[in-house]
Structure 1
């Protein structure tokens, strides 16, 4: 079941998901970038901030996994 769901997501869709959900809100700076800066500074301590990092980072993990899959010659 999960494999079928994974295969149903095309590489182009993964790019769109990463650029929209992964970076929103765009103003004043992308949320993911803000959370990564907090992580680097050691100020990512609130559970809500950790959830935000996971929520906005997951589309990028999906995209990277799809790119690796495509590079290995599997369906994208």
Structure 2
């Protein structure tokens, strides 16, 4: 069911999260600005919601990939 997530490269997701997920970097990362707006109840304009989705998606995919990797059963050598 989540084969598409398994096929995504972890380094690629990390690069996406650190570039698109944080851009623009100054004066503060866009995703951080939008999360603060969301917490304050000020995320109401469609462009702001789109920005949160655009800049937040790489982080969500990276988190999902890491959870999936850590939850896979490990098949070590059996004695």
Q: TM-score, structure 2 length as denominator?
A: 0.82
List 4+ stretches of structure 1 deviating above 4 A.
2-5
Query: Structure 1: 5+ residue runs without aligned partners?
Result: none
Deviation, 1:67, is 0.2
Q: Is the 8 A contact 2:23 2:30 kept in 1?
A: yes
Query: Structure 2: 5+ residue runs without aligned partners?
Result: 74-79
Match of 1:49 in 2: 48
Q: Does 1:33 align with 2:27?
A: no
Kindly report the root-mean-square deviation, in angstroms, between the aligned alpha carbons of the 2 structures.
1.7
Aligned length: 73
Q: Aligned equivalents of 2:2 and 2:36: distance in 1? A: 34
Q: TM-score, structure 1 length as denominator?
A: 0.85
Structure whose CA Rg is larger: 2
